Amino acid sequence: MPTTTRTEAVRLRAVISAERRELADMLGELSEAQWDAPSLCSGWRVREVAAHMSMGFRLSLPRTLAELGRSGGRLHRMTDRVARRDAAALTPAELVAALRDNAGHPWTPPVGGLTAALGHDVVHGLDITTALGLDRRVPAERLRLVLNGVDARSLKFFGAGLDGVPLRATDLDWSLGAGTAEPLEAPAQELVLRAFGRRLPG
């Protein structure tokens, strides 16, 4: 993966902060019924997704490692358990504040750096807005940054089921892959969801 320069890092952090603040504003407008509605994350309501999005801000590294140990070293089991626990313990207002107050938090996933951190926020935001039918359009610049971080390894990790399928954005100058297979052509926002293994409603 290319090294991120200081200038690029500053720009990415600003983009991440803006995405988190906008998502906090969106979450702050939801009704109680919407908080309890299913998201695109299988088995998670909106409130579990919001709890998961802020987990990296609320849990220190030692606490995270301890939670991982309690889950037998299985990351997906740990994130599911913690999201469910925290969604039950925290109010919507507290979950919104956790995201807004940490808009500039330096957290990044174990792999992928700042681009992966942006992808984490963008995809989970779409998990919520797409499932609820909200017409929030992620800015094109952010979608391009997230898509630029997609490769064959990430497609496999997220179970996208797109091995060997060329991807083509219909509203951005972006593509991935080549070959004889019929390409998947779709708006960039939909491609982001597909690349991260989401199954779209309808």
21 dihedral zone (left: phi>0; alpha: psi -120 to 50; beta): alpha
Is 78 in a helix, a strand, or coil?
Answer: helix
Q: Is residue 45 part of a domain?
A: yes
Q: Is residue 176 part of a domain?
A: no
Q: Is residue 57 part of a domain?
A: yes
Name the residue with tokens 């913690």: 82
* pTM for the whole structure: 0.92
Q: Is residue 178 part of a domain?
A: no
Q: Is residue 175 part of a domain?
A: no
Per-residue model confidence as pLDDT tens digits over 138-185: 999 999 999 999 998 888 888 988 888 999 999 999 999 877 778 999
What total of structural domains would you count in the chain? 1
Per-residue model confidence as pLDDT tens digits over 109-132: 888 899 999 999 999 999 999 999
Q: Is residue 182 part of a domain?
A: no
Note whether 45 and 36 are within 8 A (CB). Answer: yes
- Specify the pLDDT at position 1: 45
> Mind giving me the DSSP string for 166-185?
-EEESSSS-EE--SSSPPEE
Q: Is residue 25 part of a domain?
A: yes
Domain containing 91 equals 1-107
- Specify the pLDDT at position 157: 86
Tell me which amino acid residue 122 is. V
